[in-house]
Chain A
Amino acid sequence: DIQMTQSPSSLSASVGDRVTITCRASQTIDLDLNWYQHKSGEAPKFLMFAASGLQSGAPPRFTVSGSGTDFTLTITSLQLEDFATYFCQQTRRAPLTFGGGTKVEI
């Protein structure tokens, strides 16, 4: 299985802060990586493709970079509604696997 290592597992931030979350795959997955946002008690929500040229509907303050094994999700100016858990998912090879999540807290 492809292991996805996400860091940090949690972070504290304030509104307006720049936040960076990383996801590392145990083997190359090209651009077959997705990012999701999850608020407790709600349905997880697809956020972005790693392939940054693909439209996703996420606000422009969310940006992605990386390919191969190392990926980054950046929130350039944290808003109140962004406090949530973010996790990555690789779709390169079954079984699909997920990162452990990053909880963004105030």
Chain B
Amino acid sequence: QAQLQESGPGLVSPSETLSLTCTISGGSMSSYYWSWIRQAAGKEMEWIGRVYTTGSTNYNPSLRGRLNMSIDMSKNQFSLKLKSLTAADTAIYFCARERPYRGYDYLDSWGQGTLVIVSS
């Protein structure tokens, strides 16, 4: 398993852009999808999207238009930018590695999560 660590601001103002970075240690970034997931208080986990090592992305349609993900393999990092924030974006944000295994995919490594509060 790899170790993942999220970093970014804990407090962001409404209408601003959230920038988060996930740093990977203890493993290669190659051949995996790298995902962002969030969980608002009292709600289920919400898959935000993922980026592959080629830079190709898949986004949750509910967030498409506000979302941009990128990857920098030279730094062992991938990033999320979410614009036009509202209070509804307040959540714990997790990064995770998606691994294929015998025809199935699963999130085999996660970060601890970082709390992001959207408030003025």
Contact = CB atoms under 8 A, between A and B. Distances in A.
A and B: partners? yes
Interface of A: 4, 31-32, 34, 36, 41-46, 49, 51, 54, 87, 89, 91, 94-101
How many chain B residues sit at the interface, stated as a range, is 20 to 34
Nearest to B101: A54
A4 B47 CA distance: 13
Contacts of A99: 44
Given A32-B104, A91-B105, A91-B106, A43 B45 contact: no
A31 B101 CA distance: 13
Contacts of A54: 101-102, 104
A49 B94 CA distance: 21
Contacts, number: 58
Contact of B112 (A36, A42, A51, A101): A42
Interface in B99-120: 101-102, 104-113
A10 B4 CA distance: 28
B104 A43 contact: no
Contact of A43 (B43, B44, B46, B111): B111
Contacts of A101: 44-45
A43 B112 contact: yes
A95 B104 contact: no
Interface stretch (B7-15, B56-64, B71-79, B81-89): B56-64
A89 B45 contact: yes
